[in-house]
Structure 1
């Protein structure tokens, strides 16, 4: 086989470039070399030897090695992996746990099924760019003779800064292990619940780490785990199939469907109106950052290139293109099915959205858990060995005791962080926006630019032009990372600032309406008739829906925003009326939720509601809600129980929950505290109790319930302290008649 002069290697494609075999350090060229005469071989060898010069790490250019030899275009080398094996292993490396967070990335900017269309385009686009850079890393190893990611940097940029990609790879691998621990904690906790055993996420993770993960991570030879890693692809394939089945059979078609009722309200399907056009929102950068992590396998690109049999650039590019095409289809399938099923309610780990009573998805959890448990040590050892390399610990000094000590430290740190952080999408977004973008886009571009620069005049026109393409992708990666990270952090900051605190326990505004004779309270009626108000009436009625469902509808109406008038924007008039802050002028208006309670005796409350309804005073779109057995779960709830929110207890004046004894107050769905008068049934609540429960539910703060009921309890105790209070005979009396029993105002 003859060599083509390097001067003639003008790009037929951007991949037809001079390369150096990674094992023989020999310069090769394209198959067109066969047309060159044998008598010119020696001359071509001399040119080939000088076609690439190495950087010695100090900034000086070193002469070519004297043992550089010329080899044929087929690539040669010692790789034994066939193209099919290489494709399978590459797909297995790319399709990791990060794919399970992609539905949440789509939910960051949309909540309607059509949002999956631009998301699929983004997934494919980022996948193509990631595949290009994966291929570029293999070509860099061919150009420089490097055998690792760090080695490629050393031979192109220089040894003095080689610690940068080294540290990045270690930290990124740490994030991967952390994501594994987080998923395992959630998955095993859900699996125990499927078996009827209640085990918290924390207990499941700690128990699994001590009994299973630690012994596996201490293994000295991981070759026995290789067959189990094949279960990763099978588990992900089954998960994608199961998600598709659940989408098409409609098991989670609405928040009130059978299986959906078994999960927390925040995880139930929430299909809204933000569709394909929502991709132009800056929130779409959150998905882009997550995609950087989802395709993260680039630090293994040199290994894959060296393992490929007859690793010519053409064969290498074929393997990369095929593997990333399969991965892209995989990602689109899982992301689209998960998002289309749950909309804006997608959790950072989409499996958490599915009921623990869902047998089909239960097997999916088993498959994912099994795969993660046995691939966990492989990722962990990569992190540990990388840390040892970064610490420059010689291999001869890596005793079992020293390695085990480092294993305890790393695994303990990972577990502690996984116990604290529960949002997988945060790890995916943060890791992708920082290290993911650097390893995928920035570092390969820098290395390729330096390698082409080292070629000097021997660099082809195609190579020089490709440098601009690689640097453009690097700039794009930096831009996407900065915007996406800032957007994600601002979103998290807003969520944390909106959460209730001890200093801001109750952010709801209270308006007390009164009716004097035939004249309604003007302030109350103004609120009810405001088109920017979403009115929720809490009162038993034949048309009233379950409280949880009604609240979901009300929250969705609030998100839709103002309908007409002023373009739906906040103006100076809104500010002057005290409705909005001056800092928000020009922002879209958001509808407010008004919750109406009727405060009177139970008998008079019914009369007032009926009269108001007959007079047509309730707004046309009033949402009527009440407690139902599905929302109460037939559970008696105590505020001292920290898990009160998991009982899905809504609030209303009446419930039809089943009780063993209708006359027993202790058996009602909520512990009734208003003991001053006898209710029509044990399931009736006073207005104060009703307000306490609904406010606590909406604000997601049990301290509100405790604060309101503390005042109510004090009032009841003071009432009991009166002389001979005949509570049983108080039923049906008016509030005015009760004032005959004087209550001391002293404390």
Structure 2
């Protein structure tokens, strides 16, 4: 009995003859790149399971080989590690701008908007997972290809790239601003021009010494431990911010909450900052791919737990930060605290560690998008893997050195790419990918998806208009250096 199957990744013919296997091809399939295409991976996995259940193939060696291949195709990242990675992807430097957002809206409106954005984020992830499940694809770019062909693939990849580069830039901008002050506090003297107190030099050192080695990991699941440590650092940040609340005048705060005008020109940045703070969509499908025992329900639970945890952390951080400084809250919360405070010095260091460890997580989807665009059929190669990471870090370092204001990053990127990733693309993909035989165009789910995408367009145009208006009128709340 002779039977063979062609592996979709281009590895070659996998042949099993009379219940035996070609050891050379066996080694090649075990070492092949599982990155090439999730759709191809699923096809191979489906074939393996079919063969494993076929009573004709009863050879012990055949069954052992199929078992090993099936394990190799399965995701290996645990549920908890997946939650850590997705939570870390959600929670970045955006948390530092939430107290400023609350100062522009008031507590009630801020809470309403935060709940609204969190629910919409969970729903958009549901749309992504449903679309991926229909076609057996767990890659954002490939969903774009399935929905609109090559154009859709390019658009999805470009939006992911632009958004995550903006996110990485905001993280490293925090390092540029805060690390010199942390070093000054540790050394006990002010800067007098030393190179090691220059933020531009420091972000280059951090990028090469910390971020690059982590970014060279072949699989995102390996970063679960660093993501967990990053989250613990931000929990310490939250606790420390709450401790400083006792020094504020709560009676004055109460008056400010109810008498402050809600609709100010500064509120233009509130929704973009909130939207940017909840975007994790480029990381959802890669995490889904590496999840152990992957099912739509299991991945949705990962997303729901991550969103809920970050919702609580965001709300508490914003409330404590706002009630401490209310009308004087800076766009980056740490600027409100004294650099001579020992506790806040530790907090600054914890935040720096947290945002630094987040950068490799958001770099993975960019590299994947670049590979999908430029090398869609190429197998994994370490040189290409390393070179793309180096180029991305080089570009981000340039942006951080030459963009002077962190709110520009939060506002502009949040107003353009965030609506696309949260609202527009998931809604459009769902409408285009889910067949009409399964859900007609006039069905409730598809109508909701269309409204969801339309809401994204409205959100994008409105946010950009408000931001341009603020630039034109010159109403700006400085968010410069300390």
1:361 aligns with 2:344: yes
Q: Is the 8 A contact 1:21 1:143 kept in 2?
A: no
In structure 2, which of residues 135, 138, 142 is the aligned counterpart of residue 151 of structure 1? 142
- Which secondary structure state, in structure 1, belongs to the residue aligned with residue 327 of structure 2? coil
Q: How many angstroms apart in 2 are the aligned matches of 1:170 and 1:163?
A: 10
Q: How many angstroms apart in 2 are the aligned matches of 1:286 and 1:319?
A: 29
Q: 1:147 to 1:360 in 2, by over 3 A?
A: same
1:293 aligns with 2:276: yes
1:479 aligns with 2:458: yes
Match of 1:140 in 2: 131
In structure 1, which of residues 437, 441, 455 is the aligned counterpart of residue 419 of structure 2? 437
In structure 2, which of residues 223, 238, 246 is the aligned counterpart of residue 240 of structure 1? 238
> 1:305: Cα distance to partner?
2.7
Q: Is the 8 A contact 1:384 1:407 kept in 2?
A: yes
Match of 1:13 in 2: none
- Which secondary structure state, in structure 2, belongs to the residue aligned with residue 153 of structure 1? helix
Match of 1:598 in 2: none
Q: Deviations over 1:15-42 (max 9, x none)?
A: xxxxx99825999xxxxxxxxxxxxxxx
> 1:498: Cα distance to partner?
11
Structure 2-normalised TM-score? 0.74
> 1:403: Cα distance to partner?
6.8
Higher percent of residues as helix: 2
Match of 1:304 in 2: 287
Match of 2:436 in 1: 456
In structure 1, which of residues 174, 183, 192 is the aligned counterpart of residue 183 of structure 2? 192
Q: Deviations over 1:584-643 (max 9, x none)?
A: xxxxxxxxxxxxxxxxxxxxxxxxxxxxxxxxxxxxxxxxxxxxxxxxxxxxxxxxxxxx
Match of 1:417 in 2: 399
Query: How do 1:10-21 residues align onto structure 2 when only pairs under 5 Å count?
Result: none
Q: Is the 8 A contact 1:228 1:374 kept in 2?
A: yes
Structure 1-normalised TM-score? 0.49
In structure 1, which of residues 460, 463, 470 is the aligned counterpart of residue 449 of structure 2? 470
1:321 aligns with 2:304: yes
Greater relative contact order (CA < 8 Å, ≥ 6 in sequence): 2
Q: 1:323 to 1:384 in 2, by over 3 A?
A: closer
> 1:158: Cα distance to partner?
2.4
Q: Is the 8 A contact 2:230 2:354 kept in 1?
A: yes
Q: How many angstroms apart in 2 are the aligned matches of 1:381 and 1:426?
A: 24
Q: Is the 8 A contact 1:167 1:390 kept in 2?
A: no
Give ranges in structure 1 of 5+ residues lacking alignment: 1-19, 28-76, 255-268, 500-644, 647-747
Q: Which has the larger radius of gyration?
A: 1
Q: 1:399 to 1:458 in 2, by over 3 A?
A: closer
Q: How many angstroms apart in 2 are the aligned matches of 1:89 and 1:142?
A: 21
Mean CA deviation greater in 375-384 or 419-428: 375-384
> 1:374: Cα distance to partner?
3.5
Q: Is the 8 A contact 1:116 1:340 kept in 2?
A: no
Give ranges in structure 2 of 5+ residues lacking alignment: 1-38, 47-72
Query: How do 1:102-121 residues align onto structure 2 when only pairs under 5 Å count?
Result: 102-107=98-103, 109-110=104-105, 115-121=106-112
Q: How many angstroms apart in 2 are the aligned matches of 1:201 and 1:446?
A: 52
Q: 1:421 to 1:447 in 2, by over 3 A?
A: same
1:489 aligns with 2:459: no
Match of 1:86 in 2: 82
Q: 1:239 to 1:497 in 2, by over 3 A?
A: closer
Q: 1:498 to 1:126 in 2, by over 3 A?
A: closer
Query: How do 1:572-591 residues align onto structure 2 when only pairs under 5 Å count?
Result: none
Q: How many angstroms apart in 2 are the aligned matches of 1:85 and 1:397?
A: 24
1:222 aligns with 2:217: yes
Q: Is the 8 A contact 2:440 2:446 kept in 1?
A: no
Q: Is the 8 A contact 2:230 2:355 kept in 1?
A: yes
Q: Is the 8 A contact 2:283 2:365 kept in 1?
A: no
- Which secondary structure state, in structure 2, belongs to the residue aligned with residue 357 of structure 1? coil
Q: Is the 8 A contact 1:141 1:147 kept in 2?
A: yes
Q: Deviations over 1:554-594 (max 9, x none)?
A: xxxxxxxxxxxxxxxxxxxxxxxxxxxxxxxxxxxxxxxxx
